[in-house]
A and B are shown apart, each in its own frame.
Chain A
Amino acid sequence: MTVTTASSRVSTGPSVASAPEIALQLDRVTKSFGRKRVLDGVSFSVAKGTALVVLGRSGTGKSVTLRTIIGLVRPESGRVLVEGEDVVGMSRPRLNEVRKRIGFLFQNAALFDSISVGENVAFPMRRHTKLSESEIRARAQEKLEQVGLAAEYNRMPAALSGGMRKRAGLARAMALDPSLLLVDEPSAGLDPITSDEIDHLLLSQKESGTTLVVVTHNMASARRLGDRLLMLHEGRVTAEGTLDEFERSEDPMVRAFISSENAG
């Protein structure tokens, strides 16, 4: 079990960027909102084609970590390397090129509510590909089929249930076949069966070679998805390791998460 400070685990310098097997690396990332330090030297890395599950209580910086990776939040210090490119301080055109390779599933799906579900999925393709109208429609339909929403192309997001919205959000996040998929609380507000369905969709993405970073409170989800688990507490990485290592851990926060699932 690794229970060390982030800076002692992560190597720095040019060798980091050139490591081919690493899809994502955060290196001593720090972010504050006002006087509150939300990320305090967060460091970790994710190997290509694997899934990292980020655990932690509410308000410990999990969602901010995801937002930092995709450049929605700019850290005060540290580096965020996506496939070797540091997105911190990157110009907007270059950042947008990196963003095209990243899918982001928001906690509440964040579907554009003025257009249909199918158009939500087609949106990234319309913006960033030169596909014909019929090809875009066909591919959006295919993505919706993958998440079990084949019949919902023309429905408006407001007409969908929470689980359907999340699946539609996943279809949109997968629209450009991203190499890195960031997922914020996939089980939040969902019944256990729908939550399982979402997890299986994410697993199928991982099996097709996509790297996953999943933020969750849900240990059952973490068990299913995570090749490695990471615990954030008060903006710091307090534990990182495999599921087996987490189960053997003496760290009180890790024990609390493991026992909360057993209690449930």
Chain B
Amino acid sequence: MGRGILVFVGSAGELSLFGLRAIRDAFKPPFEPGEILRQLHELGLRSAPLIGVSGLAVGVVLSMHTRASLERFGAESMIPAGLAMALVRETGPLTAALLLSGRIGAGIGAELGAMRVTEQIDALEASAVDAFKYLVVTRALACVIALPILTTLMNFSGMLGGFLAENAVSGMSLRLYFDRSFSLIDVIDYVPATLKTMVFGFIIAITSSYLGFTTSSGTEGVGRASTRAVVFSSILIIVANVILVRLIFFIFPGLQR
């Protein structure tokens, strides 16, 4: 038990140092633009179908629930605005981040873990390349850039899903639906909630890279790194979300109304 706590604290400390090193190295040349673009394609663009389809489904389900609640008060006309507000402020960012912690976290954990056990990370170092910068910093930057964009995609596909559900029930037009969706949303609803996903992206990249980088025990270790990357990223995102929401309310008190 005592040893377990020590290992946990030790790993948490190492993970923190890993993240701080990534932030420091991100501002030091070489900046590896080619590798960042490649990671943006792999981690960002290739995640778009997952986010688009999931957003659509979330929008349909949210719409059905919102209708069931608002119908009782005769407030069906508020469905688009209520759904959009829920998506933009919280459901979109958190759902996108959790979905991406599965896809990206597992991918990075497994890829770097496999590179570690097959000595490819050592081969990078032996080729006079800073493996940390080349593998970790580039992935962290790609995730930090990609998450807000994918979250925006999630929000829009969610609203589209909401429209499809609403159109099937009430025959509401696309134009009227989106007019009503944006009737209550302000920039201040969108910007802080979406930008906080940059932190989620950093958490996913750093946690999974750390677990991949420190993989041992061959193939079994790679599987373990991949699983842990998803589990720890998800937990850290949920915990960070609580702190970030509190922080956003503190900075923008108007959002609590």
B251 within 8 A of A: no
CB-based contact B123/A106 at 8 Å: yes
CB-based contact A124/B130 at 8 Å: no
* B239 surroundings in chain A (CB, below 8 A): none
Interface 9-mer from A17-25, A97-105, A234-242? A97-105
CB-based contact A113/B120 at 8 Å: yes
CB-based contact A113/B128 at 8 Å: no
Distance A226 CA – B126 CA, assembled complex (angstroms) = 24
* B126 surroundings in chain A (CB, below 8 A): 70, 72, 99, 102, 104, 106
CB-based contact B128/A72 at 8 Å: no
B129 within 8 A of A: yes
One of A71, A72, A100, A108 near B118 (C-beta < 8 A): A108
* A124 surroundings in chain B (CB, below 8 A): 127-128
Interface set, chain A 102-129, CB cutoff 8 A to B: 102, 104, 106-108, 110-113, 123-124, 127-128
Distance A97 CA – B128 CA, assembled complex (angstroms) = 7
Distance A72 CA – B127 CA, assembled complex (angstroms) = 11
Distance A127 CA – B126 CA, assembled complex (angstroms) = 12
One of A92, A110, A127, A172 near B119 (C-beta < 8 A): A110
A4 within 8 A of B: no
List B residues at the A interface (Cβ < 8 Å): 114, 118-120, 122-130
Closest to A103 in B: B126
Closest to A175 in B: B127
* A123 surroundings in chain B (CB, below 8 A): 127
CB-based contact B127/A92 at 8 Å: no
A11 within 8 A of B: no
Distance A123 CA – B120 CA, assembled complex (angstroms) = 13
* B124 surroundings in chain A (CB, below 8 A): 112
One of B123, B125, B128, B130 near A112 (C-beta < 8 A): B123
A260 within 8 A of B: no
Count A-side interface residues using an 8 Å CB cutoff: 23
User: Within the complex, what minimum Cβ distance (angstroms) separates A145 from chain B?
Assistant: 21
Closest to B30 in A: A127
User: Within the complex, what minimum Cβ distance (angstroms) separates A132 from chain B?
Assistant: 16
One of A72, A97, A111 near B122 (C-beta < 8 A): A72
User: Within the complex, what minimum Cβ distance (angstroms) separates B197 from chain A?
Assistant: 27
User: Within the complex, what minimum Cβ distance (angstroms) separates A140 from chain B?
Assistant: 14
A96 within 8 A of B: yes
CB-based contact B129/A113 at 8 Å: no
The contact string, 1 if C-beta is below 8 Å from chain B, for chain A 215-248, is 0000000000000000000000000000000000
One of A70, A104, A112 near B120 (C-beta < 8 A): A112
Q: Which of B128, B129, B130 has the most CB of A within 10 A?
A: B128
Closest to A104 in B: B126
CB-based contact B119/A108 at 8 Å: yes
* B114 surroundings in chain A (CB, below 8 A): 113
One of B119, B120, B128 near A99 (C-beta < 8 A): B128
Closest to B117 in A: A108
Distance A113 CA – B117 CA, assembled complex (angstroms) = 13
One of B123, B128, B129, B130 near A110 (C-beta < 8 A): B123
* B122 surroundings in chain A (CB, below 8 A): 67, 72, 106, 110
* 12 new A-B contacts at CB < 8 Å, known A67-B122, A127-B128: A70-B126, A71-B125, A92-B130, A96-B130, A102-B126, A104-B126, A108-B118, A110-B122, A111-B123, A112-B124, A113-B114, A127-B127
* A102 surroundings in chain B (CB, below 8 A): 126
* B120 surroundings in chain A (CB, below 8 A): 110-113
User: Within the complex, what minimum Cβ distance (angstroms) separates B75 from chain A?
Assistant: 53
Closest to B122 in A: A72
CB-based contact A72/B125 at 8 Å: yes
Closest to A101 in B: B128
CB-based contact B129/A127 at 8 Å: yes
* A112 surroundings in chain B (CB, below 8 A): 120, 123-124
CB-based contact A113/B118 at 8 Å: yes
Distance A67 CA – B122 CA, assembled complex (angstroms) = 9
CB-based contact A99/B127 at 8 Å: yes
